[in-house]
Amino acid sequence: MRSVNTKYMVGLLAFLITACVTVNIYFPAAEVKQAAEDIAKDVRGSQQDQDLEKGPTSWLFFESQAYAAGELTVSNATIRQLKVRMKARYPSLAPYLKGGFVGEGANGLLVIRSDKGLGLKKKAELKRLVNAENSDRMALYRAVAQSLNIPSSQIVRVQKIFATEWQKTAPRGTFIQRPSGSWVRK
């Protein structure tokens, strides 16, 4: 009878020990941060860099093209093309960022803070720009996650890391959303 009780106790102990094991899913935060840093700099960099980002001119061979891939650890054709689009859009967005109309959200997306003082045409333009940019950013986050084998459930973490980099590289005057949700002006 006593041996049976001992067996139960051992079994219970084993169960408790195994129950305490935490399974950590690896999240390559450093790689995402590096990618975010490089992409943010690239998108908001100089015009020269933008020229280098032009796509290939031949379907069969990638002749006469130059990719400013730099030292990126995360990149692929989708990311490169999204960068080109975002970089081309940035000059249109910059005045709205500087003017405080658009803020860099804590989720890595742009947020319209205010459209006061803008005519309706400008309001429409602003909303279209922000929606197009956010659509490209989400595609970018998915592509980065796919590149680093990050499950889609973890894309929110990719967004947060990117948010920090977008906020760092945003021009003076841009509203920045803190993780707490509050807004400050850069």
Of 93 and 161, nearer to other proteins (C-beta) is 93
# of chain residues touching other proteins (CB under 8 A): 43
Binds other proteins by CB under 8 A, chosen from 62, 91, 179, 185? 62
Of 132 and 186, nearer to other proteins (C-beta) is 132
CA nearest 104: which of 75, 72, 137? 137
Compute the distance between CA of residue 45 and CA of residue 186 in angstroms, rounded to an integer. Answer: 19
Backbone angles phi, psi at 119, to 5 degrees: -70, 165
Compute the distance between CA of residue 109 and CA of residue 107 in angstroms, rounded to an integer. Answer: 6
Q: Does 136 bind other proteins (CB under 8 A)?
A: yes
CA nearest 55: which of 87, 32, 90, 31? 87
- Which residues, 6 or more positions from 108, have their beta carbon under 8 angstroms from its beta carbon? 137, 141, 158, 159, 160, 161, 162, 163, 166
Window of 6-14, 36-44, 125-133, 167-175 that interacts with other proteins by CB under 8 A: 125-133
Q: Does 139 bind other proteins (CB under 8 A)?
A: yes
Binds other proteins by CB under 8 A, chosen from 49, 95, 98, 112? 112
Binds other proteins by CB under 8 A, chosen from 27, 45, 69, 171? 69
Binds other proteins by CB under 8 A, chosen from 124, 178, 179, 185? 124
Within 10 Å of residue 40's Cβ, how many Cβ atoms? 21
Q: How far is the CB of 100 from other proteins (least distance, A)?
A: 16
Q: Does 127 bind other proteins (CB under 8 A)?
A: yes
Q: Does 60 bind other proteins (CB under 8 A)?
A: yes
